[in-house]
Structure formats: structure tokens, C-alpha cells
Amino acid sequence: MKSRKLLICNAKIFLKDKIMHGNVIVENGKIKEIVSQLNNLENHYKEDIVYDMKGRYLLPGFVDIHCHGGNNSSFMDCEESDFENILSYYLKHGTTTIFPTTLSSDDQQLILFLDTYENYIKKNSYYKKMMGGCHLEGPYLSIEKAGAQLQSKCKEVDFSFAVDVINKYLCIKRWTIAPEMDIKYKLSTLLRERKIVVSAGHTKVLYEEMQEAFKNGYTHMTHLYSGMNSMIYVDSFRKAGAVEAALLDPDITVELIADGIHLPYPLIEIVYKIKGPDKIAIITDGMRGTGTKGQKSVLGNRKTGIKVIIKKGVAMLEDYSSLAGSITPLNKMFLGLVNNTSIPIIDIVKMCSYSPACIMGIQNTVGLIQPDYIANFIDMDNNWNVINVIYNGMIV
């Protein structure tokens, strides 16, 4: 069979630490070579697809490690058609790798989600490489810090059930847990042994308890600031929270919902200056209302989830007591960071692609424009609008 080739020419290419003007040669869905001069390669590739960037920017495809849904679908709907609806929407907006994320639910619903994921990737070869694995957010979360999660589904770790799930479903790549619900850190210890990312979230622990969790397998913080304590007053005395513990530990990675609403841009810049781009992933925490025009939506399963309203560019509970997820895709978050912060563009790209790939341990295949990597790219104009997306070496 003849190999499938693509020549991307005349591009400003975002490499790991610099931008170069050049050309990318793609073969069979992978990056074969990056060259500054074409010489006689035009003739060699005359029978294949030539994609002229006309001097525009070529970025690595975005990697979203925390997404619940979009385009009026949720991964918790547990229908293959909803999976495809979500994936097709985000792919068009530049996300080429995504980790479908759950919400706190009963055990049967969680199993149904995992079964749907595994059945879908067996049947759908096109989107298979887009999904990096599953991120379980809950149900082992603090009721007090549940936010928009269903409080009735939050509970202490059921270790026996968790072991069964981990043994059966190898697609699980990350689990968000409130450390106080993980008695004696039994689950976090097991997850680290299985090379599954252990993330702290929806937790009421303070600084010292969070430090202890870091010593027992927790390496990442789920949507920093949301669903956790920053500095609080206890008996009139200031106490540092989980946020400060994460900021001060150089080994801990964090993720930010960079829509300018969950986190105002000055706060994002503070985190950037403390942690640096290598330790930060920009995430959507996207829910089904992303990409829709309605003023009402549902967080989680469309039949059993929580009713929310869409207002001022974000989802929130009907009583306004909590935000309920983002409705901003990564390309819009990227643009917001470019226009509203002083963070260098090369670092914004890194936080949307390579850094999240590193956090999830897939940095040797996606997140960079580099030979032997999967050919996932975003074609952006000088105003940082998405012109086209190239996924697995094919123009979307």
C-alpha cells in the first residue's frame, strides 16, 4: 500500500522552545521531518497533498486532560453517539487529544461510562487516537467542597470496588480524589503503583494535610482554586490551604480553567510566575453547554444530572451557589490568555499542549511538533483564529 504523505509548507512552526519558519513532512500520520528549506522536495511530493500555510502559525494540537462534554452532550450520557458528538466538536476547535472525564455518580453509572469508552474505541478507528484515556473525577470527594458535583454521590473511598475497576479497565489514566476520603492513602498508593495519575480535588484539607498527601502519591491538583481552600481564617488566625501547598511544592503540577471567569487573568499570571509553564496545564473542564446557545443545560447525565444555567459566559447552579463548569473551548482560552496576560506566547502554547501531555505521561507521542510524533496540528492566523486542524496527518 502506498504511504500517505502530507507536505505542510511555508509555516511559522511552534517548536518546544522557539518558533521557526519552515516546512513539515508528514508520512502515515506521523511527523517525518521538519526542514527550513524545501530544495527539491516539492517535486518529490508532487503526487501527495501539499498544504500551503502562507506564513501562518502551525501549533501542536491541544491536549485537554479534563473535559466532561460539549455540543449538548456529556460523556456521562454513556452513549457512543454522544462521545462522537463531543469529540467532533472539540477537534474542530483544535483539541486533538482529550481525556473524557466523569462526575460523581453511583458505581453502576461509572461502570457504564467505562464500558462505553472501551466499546467506542474498539469500533471507531478515527477518534481512537484522540482519546488519551479516562479521567475519573469522583465519587471520592468532599461533600463540603463538592461544588456542582452531586453531593449525594460523594463518599469515602470504596477500596474493594476501586481495585476491581482498576484491574478491569486499563483505560483509567487519572483519578481525582479528596485526600481526606482516601483513608490511610490506600487508593493513592495503589494508583501510583499502577502508574495512574493521582490528583487532589474537591477537598477541604489545609496546607499540612495536603503536604502529607503529596508524600503519599498525589502529584497533581484538579482545577486549582476551584473546590479547595486557599488561605482561610481559623479562630481568627490565617491558615494556608491546599492551594498554597501546591504552589510551594516544586514537584506538583496544576491545571487551570483559563476562561477568565473561573480564574481571573491576574490570578493565572500569579500561578504562572510561581509554577512556570512546565507545571501547568490549561484545561476546559468543559460541560455540555459548550458550543450551544441555550441559557439552560444539564451537568452530567441528561436524565439524572444537575440542572444549570448559562450566564455571563459560564455554567452555574440555578441558585448561583457554585460555578458548574466551563463553556469555553481551549482555542478560546488560548486567545484569552494571549490578549489578557503578559505570558509569552511560546509558554501559552506549551501549557495547552506539551505540559498536559507530560502530566499524563504521553509526552513522547503528542504535544510537540517533532519527528516521530503524531501529526496533530492547528493552523492559526495572525489573530490566533483557528483556520484548520490537522489530526493524525489528515486535514479535518
Sequence-distant (6+) residues with CB within 8 A of 99 are: 64, 65, 66, 67, 131, 132, 133, 134, 135, 173, 174, 360
> Can you list the domains of the chain with their CATH numbers?
5-59+372-395 (2.30.40.10), 67-359 (3.20.20.140)
Are the CB atoms for 299 and 309 separated by under 8 Å? no
Strands 220-221 and 253-257: parallel
Looking at the chain, the number of H-run helices and the number of E-run strands are 12, 24
DSSP state of 334: H
SS3 state of residue 349? helix
**Residue that is written with C-alpha cell 483513608 in the block:** 183
What's the pLDDT score for residue 141?
A: 98
What's the pLDDT score for residue 49?
A: 87
What's the pLDDT score for residue 370?
A: 97
| Cβ burial, residue 151 (10 Å; 0-12/13-18/19+) | middle
Are the CB atoms for 78 and 312 separated by under 8 Å? no
Nearest one of 311, 314, 290, 288 to 301, comparing CA atoms: 288
Q: What are the mean pLDDT values of the chain's consecutive 10-residue runs (396 residues total)?
A: 78 96 95 85 67 97 98 97 97 98 97 98 92 98 96 97 98 98 97 98 98 98 97 94 98 98 98 98 98 94 96 95 96 98 98 98 98 98 98 95
Percent helix, strand and coil across the chain, each to the nearest 5: 30, 30, 40
How far, in Å, CA of 5 to CA of 256, rounded? Answer: 37
- For 31, 224, 290, 372, the CA distances from 244, given in Å and listed in that order, are 40, 10, 31, 38
Are the CB atoms for 26 and 370 separated by under 8 Å? no
How far, in Å, CA of 151 to CA of 148, rounded? Answer: 8
> 314 - beta bridge partners?
311, 326
How far, in Å, CA of 326 to CA of 308, rounded? Answer: 12
To which H or E segment does residue 377 belong?
Answer: strand 377-380
To which H or E segment does residue 220 belong?
Answer: strand 220-221
**Residue that is written with C-alpha cell 478515527 in the block:** 126
How far, in Å, CA of 285 to CA of 174, rounded? Answer: 15
Listing DSSP states for 81-140 in one string gives: HHHHHHHHHHHHTTEEEEEEB--S--HHHHHHHHHHHHHHHHH-HHHHTTB--EEEE-SS
Are the CB atoms for 107 and 145 separated by under 8 Å? no
